[in-house]
């Protein structure tokens, strides 16, 4: 193609065959393209969850929401299901192709999230030919390994998916990826030269102030006060409060203009999950049961009595050696209801669970208000890193994460977090970290200090400027001439 005949348009298209509100890295790409590269940005994605307000309010970012493929009804005859499964990618391809070629202005570059690979990579590559645009893939993981979780590695569909992903992946003008391990895999076995762009939190992920914590807990107070079972250690009935006091939360209290953290507050543990098979939430449930029973044994309590423990009336100093734990689990996904049913059947005295979906502006505040983060992500490929841990570190929150091949690129053991491989190991870490909470938990404080020391040098904007912007400029120049 004669490059001199193609003029630059000053636009970029960010493509996500998924919910843009649940694709934080692609939202950050859009913000950087608009702020740092000074481009008009068109986001083509599904709706569902609202993106961050910074994306919604930026005048140079334009969101184009496609209609999502409906879920297959359970009443559909089994003989028709294979037909529907084959029809789905065809319909997705036609809709995505229409948006990329007709609905949005021709961009200088398409930046597409992978996975999903089919039909995304095919549609974007063809659109880049037609519109004479550069084509960059941002590799978050491998699509064929995710498909293999449900179909198995030996499935013919997985083999075909792998071929399509590799074939069209090699046709991109440039590639970004999330880890050095993935960069090595792409280079050695796929013939793809990728630039590592580590996930980093944007500026709105930071530790929460005491006032921000109090206001957040007041906003979500209704959700906190509703236990899954008849009562638990956080429900307001046990605390002796029949209604939600706007100045009183399980963690904070306000007297006139002064806000205080309660000395006998529960420890707040946060986990964000997509409720999918690559995150075994059962590990967290088992660890919670172990923590509950171990503390009961230390306190010489009879777990079989079924009597609720009224913490405000306990005066024995030994009772406060280990705190109550509140696990707040955020996220949406297919296995959420299954695990909520399991939570309802647990008979825990010192541990409570709440599941919720928070607005984009409240999620960083929750992380910045918590005492510990737990990550259950195991990676279908073993080559990606969990964005949720990056967000937690941005908010100054130490992490306990499932151990797998490349997680140490992110979690530095005994510096900013700990790793575990079983529910028993996680229970051990909970006992160790929260002993003497809130004042005498020295190991937890040391981990938080380590997170805060490293977060100042880890910024999305600087990483994007150093790694992504040069690649984008290079592929645009090769296709359309100098920027």
Calpha distance 48→18 (Å, rounded): 9
Residue 286, judged by CB atoms within 10 A of its CB (0-12, 13-18, 19+), counts as middle
Judge whether 238 lies within some domain. Answer: yes
pTM: 0.82
- Give yes or no: residues 283 and 177 share one domain: no
- Give yes or no: residues 276 and 381 share one domain: yes
Judge whether 205 lies within some domain. Answer: no
Q: How many separate domains does the chain show? A: 2
CATH of residue 57: 3.40.50.2000
- Give yes or no: residues 191 and 310 share one domain: no
Distance (Å) of CA 80 to CA 75, 89, 373? 11, 15, 43
The structure tokens listed for 240 are 């002796």
Judge whether 308 lies within some domain. Answer: yes
For the residues 59-81, what does the mean pLDDT come to? 79
Angle, helix 442-455 to helix 387-394, in steps of 10 degrees: 90
* Beta-carbon contacts of residue 307 (< 8 Å; ≥ 6 apart): none
- Give yes or no: residues 150 and 226 share one domain: no
Summarised one tens digit per residue, pLDDT across range 188-215 is 999 999 999 999 888 888 999 999 999 9
Judge whether 137 lies within some domain. Answer: yes
Judge whether 139 lies within some domain. Answer: yes
- Give yes or no: residues 271 and 406 share one domain: yes
- Give yes or no: residues 464 and 450 share one domain: no
- Give yes or no: residues 177 and 298 share one domain: no
Cα end-to-end distance, the chain, whole Å:
18
Calpha distance 167→161 (Å, rounded): 10
- Give yes or no: residues 179 and 58 share one domain: yes
Give the per-residue pLDDT at 223.
84
Judge whether 219 lies within some domain. Answer: yes
Identify the helix (H) or strand (E) that includes residue 129.
helix 120-131
Identify the helix (H) or strand (E) that includes residue 88.
helix 81-98
- Give yes or no: residues 96 and 234 share one domain: no
Contact between 15 and 46 (Cβ < 8 Å): no
Q: Is the dihedral of CA 324, 330, 335, 341 positive or negative?
A: positive
Question: How confident is the prediction for the chain on average, in pLDDT?
Answer: 87
Question: In terms of residue numbers, what domain contains 96?
Answer: 3-200+460-480
Judge whether 385 lies within some domain. Answer: yes
- Give yes or no: residues 450 and 475 share one domain: no
Lowest pLDDT segment from 215-229, 286-300, 365-379? 215-229
For the residues 419-440, what does the mean pLDDT come to? 95
Summarised one tens digit per residue, pLDDT across range 324-347 is 999 999 988 777 888 888 888 888
DSSP 89-128: HHHHHHHHHHIIIIISPPPSEEEEEES--TTHHHHHHHHH
pLDDT exceeds cutoff 90 at 308: no
- Give yes or no: residues 286 and 170 share one domain: no
**pLDDT class for 73, splitting at 50, 70, 90?**
low
- Give yes or no: residues 232 and 284 share one domain: yes
């Amino acid at each position: 193609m004669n490059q001199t005949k193609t003029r630059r348009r000053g636009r970029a298209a960010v493509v996500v065959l998924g919910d843009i509100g649940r694709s934080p890295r692609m939202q950050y790409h859009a913000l950087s393209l608009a702020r740092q590269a000074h481009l008009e940005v068109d986001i083509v994605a599904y709706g569902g969850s609202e993106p961050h307000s910074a994306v919604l309010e930026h005048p140079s970012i334009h969101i184009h929401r496609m209609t999502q493929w409906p879920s297959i009804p359970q009443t559909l005859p089994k003989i028709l299901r294979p037909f529907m499964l084959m029809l789905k990618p065809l319909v997705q391809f036609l809709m995505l192709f229409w948006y990329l070629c007709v609905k949005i202005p021709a961009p200088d570059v398409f930046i597409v999230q992978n996975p999903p690979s089919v039909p995304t990579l095919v549609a974007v590559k063809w659109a880049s030919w037609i519109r004479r645009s550069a084509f960059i893939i941002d590799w978050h993981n491998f699509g064929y390994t995710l498909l293999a979780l449900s179909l198995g590695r030996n499935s013919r569909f997985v083999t075909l998916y792998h071929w399509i992903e590799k074939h069209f992946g090699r046709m991109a003008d440039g590639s970004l990826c999330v880890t050095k391990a993935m960069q090595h895999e792409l280079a050695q076995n796929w013939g793809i030269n990728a630039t590592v762009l580590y996930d980093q939190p944007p500026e709105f992920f930071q530790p929460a102030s005491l006032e921000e914590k109090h206001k957040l807990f007041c906003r979500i107070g209704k959700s906190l006060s509703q236990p899954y079972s008849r009562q638990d250690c956080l429900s307001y009935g046990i605390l002796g409060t029949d209604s939600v006091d706007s100045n009183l939360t399980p963690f904070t209290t306000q007297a006139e203009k002064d806000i205080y953290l309660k000395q006998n507050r529960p420890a707040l543990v946060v986990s964000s999950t997509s409720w999918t098979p690559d995150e075994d939430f059962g590990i967290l449930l088992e660890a919670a049961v172990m923590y509950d029973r171990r503390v009961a044994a230390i306190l010489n309590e009879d777990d079989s009595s079924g009597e609720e423990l009224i913490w405000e009336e306990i005066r024995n100093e030994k009772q406060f050696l280990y705190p109550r734990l509140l696990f707040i689990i955020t996220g949406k996904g297919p296995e959420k209801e299954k695990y909520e049913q399991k939570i309802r059947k647990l008979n825990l005295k010192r541990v409570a669970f709440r599941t919720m979906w928070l607005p984009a502006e409240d999620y960083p505040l929750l992380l910045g208000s918590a005492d510990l983060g737990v990550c259950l992500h195991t990676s279908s490929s073993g080559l990606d890193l969990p964005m949720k841990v990056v967000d937690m570190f941005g908010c100054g929150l130490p992490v306990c994460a499932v151990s797998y091949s490349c997680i140490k690129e992110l979690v530095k053991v005994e510096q900013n977090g700990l790793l575990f491989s079983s529910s028993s190991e996680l229970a051990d870490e909970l006992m160790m970290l929260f002993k003497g909470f809130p004042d005498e938990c020295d190991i937890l404080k040391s981990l938080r200090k380590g997170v805060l020391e490293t977060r100042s040098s880890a910024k999305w904007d600087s990483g994007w400027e150093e790694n992504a912007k040069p690649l984008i400029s290079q592929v645009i120049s090769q296709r359309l001439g100098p920027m």
